Structures are given as structure tokens and as C-alpha cells.
Structure 1
């Protein structure tokens, strides 16, 4: 895995993790009972976005480390997913 591949893998993992972390501990205007006129009751009142970005960065780094170790260790390769036998045999 090259540097670019590693960065792309980290970015994909980061965004997937961020989408999972976003709804955790969200407080909507409807939950707090203070709905601003012209907004939806489901609009976030407190979103803690900075804390969620930090948590996402740490979690994504751990997940990326595990996946990078598996890929670089050779435990799983592209040939393991070649179910139609189109790739040449590894030597």
C-alpha cells in the first residue's frame, strides 16, 4: 500500500466513522423545548462538532492502523477476492 492509498483509506474510514458519530449525544431544539421561529424542531441545539471530530480522528486512526496492518501483513490480498479467477496467480 502506497502513501496515497493509505491517505485515501484513512479519509474513507474517517468520513464513515464521522457519519456514525454525528448523531451521538445530539440535542435538538424540540428536545430542549426552545424552538426558534422559522426552524424545524429537529434542528440541533447543541451538536458538539469539535469533540465529535476529535473522537472521529482517534477512532479512525485506530481502525486505519488495524486495516493497514492486515493489508501490509499480507493476511488479505486482492487475489483473495478474485472469485472469477481473472487475476494471474501470485508467485
Structure 2
């Protein structure tokens, strides 16, 4: 597995976890009772993008390490997904 492939896996995992992390358990403005004029009441009350990006990066590094290990160890191979015998051996 090349460095480029590892970077691509990391990028995909990072954006996936970012989207999941943005949906985290954050109180809305309506729940906190402080709705800023001009925003929907369902908007988050406090949003810290640096904290979200840092947390996402830490989780992504861990998930990428596990994925690269699984791929390099041979637990998952391309042959496992060749349902129509397209890949010649």
C-alpha cells in the first residue's frame, strides 16, 4: 500500500467522520434558550470548529491505522469482493 493510498484512505475517513461529528450531541439554540435573531432555533448554541476538526483528525488517524493494518494483513482482499470472477488469478 503506497503513501498515496494511505492518504486517500485517511481523507475519505476524515470527511466521513467530520460529517458524523458535526451531527454530534450539541444543544440547539432553542434548548439553551438563547436564539440569535436571524438564525433558526435549531442551530447549535455553541460551535467550536477547531475542536471539531481536532477531534475528527484524532479519530481519523486511529481508524486509518486500523484500516491500513487490516488491508496489509490480508484479512480483507480484493478477491473477497469479486462476485462475478472478473479478476484473473
Q: TM-score range by the shorter chain?
A: 0.7 to 0.9
TM-score, normalisation: structure 1:
0.86
Identify the residue that residue 28 of structure 2 maps to in structure 1: 28
Q: Number of residue pairs matched?
A: 89
- Are 1:25 and 1:47, in contact at CA under 8 Å, matched by a contact in 2? no
Stretch moving more, 42-51 or 13-22:
42-51
Q: Which residue of 2 aligns with 1:51?
A: 51
Q: CA deviation at 1:70?
A: 1.0
Gaps of 5+ in 1: none
Alpha-carbon distance between aligned partners in 2 of 1:23 and 1:85, rounded to the nearest angstrom: 40
TM-score, normalised relative to structure 2: 0.87
Q: Within 5 Å, give how 1:9-20 maps onto structure 2.
A: 9-20=9-20
What are the superposed Cα offsets for residues 3-34 of structure 1, whole Å, 9 maximum, x if unpaired? 11111110100111111111224232111212
- Rounded Cα–Cα distance in structure 2 between residues aligned with 1:85 and 1:66: 28
- What SS does the aligned partner of 1:44 have? coil
Residues 60-75 of structure 1 aligned to structure 2 (within 5 Å): 60-75=60-75
CA deviations on 1:46-86 (whole Å, 9 max, x unpaired) are: 02222221111111111110110111122211111101001
More strand by share: 1
Consecutive unaligned residues of structure 2, counting only runs of 5 or more, are: none
